Amino acid sequence: MRALHVDTGRPTSPADEALRDLMGLLALPALWVGRDAATVLQLTTEAVNSIVSTAVCLVRAPLSAGAEASTWLYVGGVEVDAESAWDGFIDTCLRIDEGPEDPVSLSSPLGTLRVVRLHLGPAGRFGGLWFGSSRADFPSLHQSAFMRAAATLAGTGLHAARLDQERERAARAKDEFLAMLGHELRNPLAPISTALHLIKMRNDGLGREHQIIERQVGHLSKLVDDLLDITRITRGKVELSREPVEVEALLTDAIEGVSPLLEERQQLLSTRFEVPADVQLVGDPGRLRQVMVNLLSNAAKYTPVHGQVSIRAEVLGAQQVLIEVSDNGAGIDPELLPRIFDLFEQGTTTLDRAKGGLGIGLAIVKQLVDLHGGRVEAHSEGVGQGARFRVMLPAVRVSAEAPAHAPQTPQRLDQGAPGRILVVDDNRDAAETLGLALRYSGYEVETTTLPQEVLGLLARHRFDVAVLDIGMPVIDGYELAALIRAGMAERTPRLIALTGYGQSSDRDKALATGFDEHMVKPIDLERLLHTLEGMIPRQSP
């Protein structure tokens, strides 16, 4: 810790040494960034020992708010076991009042030591430090000043470490709360969504009242997804797949996802795609689609009925694609423009909340584009002058001899015995509506709300697939899947996890537990049917 200095040939005065030592000490806080309380204390005691050369250093402090105080003892700079011959010395030290100007002589295994005590934080709120030396002049004036400054800085470092710890704890609690909130909101949405699918299949479409319900269910589902997404993204918990993505296919898929909103508002959408098929983006197809859907949805929401929305794509330079979404809607206030991608930024809102949303869609866009190594810009001439959002993303050229992989749709025969499916969900409405929808699609289905009945049902009847809710009382879906795998041997059905928890870690856990597939509530019935077709292709009689 001693600072380097130029040898001028003059003897160094005590004042110069004290100043040099204090300057070195002031560099300590730079080492504390992101450190825990124990590391802050260790760095402090090492700094003191390297300059003051104390024989003994005792540290006693709680490492987190509300925790019991921990004790460390360093002898000659080396940590020793507190439960040793030093027990009596430690107990005596704890009874010393603060006062480095008044050292106390104490017996120790090293002989008599002059010991001073310093508080960490106001009135010892964060604990204490004890320094001991056998030198008769300990502590000198500059040693006292140095140790006091070290204790003050250590107290500040401990406070910062605790704040970091509390922020991390609060962030974890927030994540857990949002995950639970998403689960609880998705649970009632699941039977509503499935019932709408069932009505649509039975009536070959939906009446006006049911269309309203369908739109609002979709809106609620997106709000839940956005809330959970922004938490994952801002905490760096999003894992992206990396694969070539055809631009026109990506944008066509995004437009399909936004078309109900455009149709509802009777808006004209114009497109111009000038990216050749051999120039493709590199990234996560699902997340890139989310970027485009968010931008198109935002344009539609802020554009009046009968307004115009356009999307175009072109190659920009050698390894970049430009995608631009523009509209002739409300425009962006110049004062808001620099903050348009900030979290929860909505600009001026009215009591009627006509535009809706939480102000997180564009924040998600920027974070996802950044994660893909691109950038996004917003442009507007002002209020009422429309807006343009330009997304620049890295691209590569794909060999024409290697066509993009097209997923194969599993083929099913209309003849033959239907598959048998078991639906397990403690929410009776969710179980019954999903069962009805699957029966209407030609499957034989049995439902139960009691997970403890499942092993008996599987022993009496053969099922091809079991759809298991994860968040069930008594036995959750993970435990139930493990019991099925362990108890059924050769008759184990394929397992699909159905849950209101939609984070990537939840999917990973489901697959690791033995599930063959993981789906989030409210379930996409078409995706479920497609998955079932792959799991249980029908056999001809």
DSSP string, 382-425: STTS-EEEEEEEEEEE--TTSPPP-PPPPP--SSSPPPEEEEE-
Sign of the torsion formed by the C-alpha atoms of 90, 92, 96 and 100: negative
DSSP 409: P
Cα separation values, 495 from 75, 92, 360, Å: 60, 65, 35
39: its two tokens? 């590391």
Which residue is listed with tokens 């077709």? Answer: 533
Give CA–CA dist 381/376, Å, rounded. Answer: 17
What 3-state DSSP class applies to 75? strand
Is residue 210 within a helix (H) or strand (E), and if so which, with residue range?
Answer: helix 208-234
The CATH fold assigned to 14-167 is: Beta-Lactamase (3.30.450)
Domains 14-167 and 174-235 agree in fold: no
Give CA–CA dist 243/280, Å, rounded. Answer: 9
The CATH fold assigned to 243-397 is: Heat Shock Protein 90 (3.30.565)
- Long-range contacts (CB closer than 8 Å, 24 or more residues apart) made by 523-527: 523/190, 523/193, 523/194, 523/434, 523/498, 525/193, 525/194, 525/197, 525/437
Cα separation values, 27 from 20, 210, 453, Å: 11, 67, 65
Give CA–CA dist 159/120, Å, rounded. Answer: 10
Q: What is the per-residue pLDDT for 496?
A: 93
The CATH fold assigned to 420-535 is: Rossmann fold (3.40.50)
Cα separation values, 541 from 29, 51, 179, 381, Å: 77, 89, 46, 67
Q: What is the per-residue pLDDT for 537?
A: 67
Give CA–CA dist 433/197, Å, rounded. Answer: 9
Q: What is the per-residue pLDDT for 242?
A: 84
Rounded to a whole number of angstroms, the distance between the first and last alpha carbons of the chain is 84
What 3-state DSSP class applies to 377? strand
What's the one-letter identity of residue 32? W
Q: What is the per-residue pLDDT for 351?
A: 34
pTM higher than the cut 0.85 = no
65: its two tokens? 């708010």
The full set of domain ranges for the chain reads 14-167, 174-235, 243-397, 420-535
At 361, phi and psi to the nearest 5? Answer: -60, -45
What 3-state DSSP class applies to 56? strand
Q: What is the per-residue pLDDT for 405?
A: 43
Cis before 260 (ω within 30): no
Question: Under CATH, which architecture does the 174-235 domain have?
Answer: Orthogonal Bundle (1.10)
Digitized pLDDT (tens) for each residue of the chain, 541 residues in all: 344 444 445 555 655 555 565 565 666 666 666 677 888 888 888 878 777 888 888 888 888 777 788 888 888 878 887 567 888 888 888 888 765 557 889 999 899 999 988 888 776 778 888 899 999 888 887 788 788 888 888 888 888 888 888 887 877 777 677 667 776 777 777 788 788 777 777 777 777 777 777 777 776 776 677 666 666 666 666 667 788 999 999 999 889 888 888 888 899 999 999 999 889 998 888 889 889 988 999 999 899 999 999 999 999 887 899 999 999 998 998 888 888 887 655 554 433 334 444 467 788 889 889 988 999 999 999 888 999 999 999 999 887 554 444 443 333 334 445 789 999 998 888 888 888 889 888 899 999 988 888 888 888 888 999 999 988 877 888 999 988 888 776 778 999 998 877 666 778 888 888 899 998 888 888 889 888 988 886 554 4
497: its two tokens? 């996890």
What 3-state DSSP class applies to 498? strand
Q: What is the per-residue pLDDT for 196?
A: 79
> Do the beta carbons of residue 61 and residue 158 sit within 8 Å?
yes
Q: What is the per-residue pLDDT for 352?
A: 36
